[in-house]
Amino acid sequence: MCSPLNLRQTFVVSASLVMSALLGSAVLTSCTKAQHEARTPVAPVALPSAAVQTKTSPAKRGPVPDKLIVVFRTGAISGQSVNSLMSGDYRILSVARHLIPTNRWATITVQPNAANAVTQELLKRPNVASVSHDYYIHGLGVCDSQVAGTPWQMEMIQLPAALQKYALIRPLPKTPVAVLDTGVQLDNVNLAPSIARKANGAVLGASEIKGVPTPNDDNGHGTFVAGIIASIDDPRHHIKGIDPAASIIPVKVLDSSESGTLSGLADGINFAVSNGAKVINMSLGCARTDCDPGVSVAAGALANARRNGVLLVAASGNDYSDTELEFPASDSNVVAVGATDEYDERADYSNGGRNLALVAPGTSVYSTFLGSQFCTGTGTSFAAPIVSGIAALLVDRASTPANTLGQIERGAVRIGDTSQYDTAGHSNIYGYGRVSAIGAVNAYAPASRP
């Protein structure tokens, strides 16, 4: 087994690594040449031709220093009650009220170093259930190099055969898919036709980043993710999304450094549900050790989305853990997706765990990028939208998210050591298998049907 690449570090591919790739040595893992030669890839991988920087600074982690989340007991829901609760304390600089069904809460910004004292004071109030720091979340993959090649991941999941069969059943559905990410390049040539619009022609989207008014992408991560799901067919650049007819709702919850907050994630989920999303893709997360005290409001938003019939998909994380999924992938309402490589094996960074549902290609994945360009990227971030794209094909017909997930899981391909799967067909490393578009379509429309 190759040793893991630490994808938690900032990804900037150096010229020396690019040259190594062009010469055939490993870039994405630290395997020896002999280890690579012992494995046979099932599909060609496009080689990088130039390095691309996609981050201006490393993503932030841990608690947001001077921002608190206050959850109220039943009944403490009015703006007046929130404002009166917060008034009179000079250490509280601002208050924002959030209304997510069954989980009413507020975020407050306090003076530097006042968080602990304010927390103790607020917990004395009878209508306060809990107080915690807000916590940072981050993207889980980076576009690392420009390419001249083909999206091998679509061949791996047998997308062409799946779409050919699907065309015999019905036209591609215009499923609303919310991409909670760094935003989407709204004028991207390959994505603009897929961006959701209001009746007046304005973009149906939102930004939960302070000081950023639109969901336009300033990093590239979200544009990459959206392209996997719904890029239009572009034979000249070998690009095609899984469901080009899908309607992408861009929700910016990560900033230009791929950093966001749990409160912003919760608001983004709520926006997506309120605006008709049927699938929500979250190629982001935080390690439970980094953010566990603050996950309750986002978990409440996830539960509300599931109750409203939304299929939630999230990346498992890039720490190469066998047992710990990042949040929100660790939440029971979420379809957790790990990554495989071009050899159809577990990627040497992909997290596993009991809640892992599926794996999908995540190494050297090819998709759209800023400036209407293209690149390859690596991380569980880019495995999750493969599942979201397949779900977009099926969700309109299935009555519940559970039905859609069941179809995808039944169509998955069991890979790796069969001894790793339990009697129910589940593995902590591979979930129910590597996703297959043709398998999912077959489960959706059995071969006996016309």
The residues annotated with a catalytic role in the active site are: 181, 221, 381
| Exposure class string for 345-380: b at 16+ Cβ within 10 A, else e | bbbbbbbbbebbbbbbbbbbbbbbbbebbbbbbbbb
Rounded alpha-carbon distances, angstroms, from residue 206 to 64, 180, 217, 272, 311: 22, 10, 12, 9, 19
Beta strands in 78-213 (DSSP E): 92-100, 103-110, 128-139, 142-147, 176-181, 206-207
Residues contacting residue 422 through CB under 8 Å, at least 6 positions apart? none
Determine the Cα–Cα distance for residues 360 and 347; give it in Å rounded to an integer: 10
Nearest alpha carbon to residue 350 among 142, 95, 140: 140
**Residue that the structure tokens 């929500």 belong to:** 280
Copy the structure tokens of residue 60.
């932030």
Work out the angle at residue 29's Cα, subtended by the Cα atoms of residues 28 and 31, and round it to the nearest 5 degrees.
140
Residues contacting residue 347 through CB under 8 Å, at least 6 positions apart? 338, 339, 340, 341, 362, 363, 378, 380, 383
Q: Which amino acid is at 137?
A: I
Determine the Cα–Cα distance for residues 240 and 263; give it in Å rounded to an integer: 33
Determine the Cα–Cα distance for residues 271 and 225; give it in Å rounded to an integer: 19
Copy the structure tokens of residue 184.
């989407």
Residues contacting residue 268 through CB under 8 Å, at least 6 positions apart? 178, 180, 206, 208, 251, 252, 253
Rounded to the nearest 10 degrees, how much is the dihedral formed by the CA atoms of 120, 121, 124, 125? -130
What number of H helices and E strands is found in the chain?
13, 17
Nearest alpha carbon to residue 314 among 431, 145, 403, 153: 431
Please state the φ and ψ torsions of residue 380, each to the nearest 5 degrees.
Answer: -65, -20
CB-CB contact of 157 with 441 (8 Å):
no
- Kindly report the number of other CB atoms within 10 A of residue 41's CB atom: 14
CB-CB contact of 39 with 66 (8 Å):
no
Strand 206-207 to strand 247-252: parallel, antiparallel, or no bridges (unpaired)? parallel
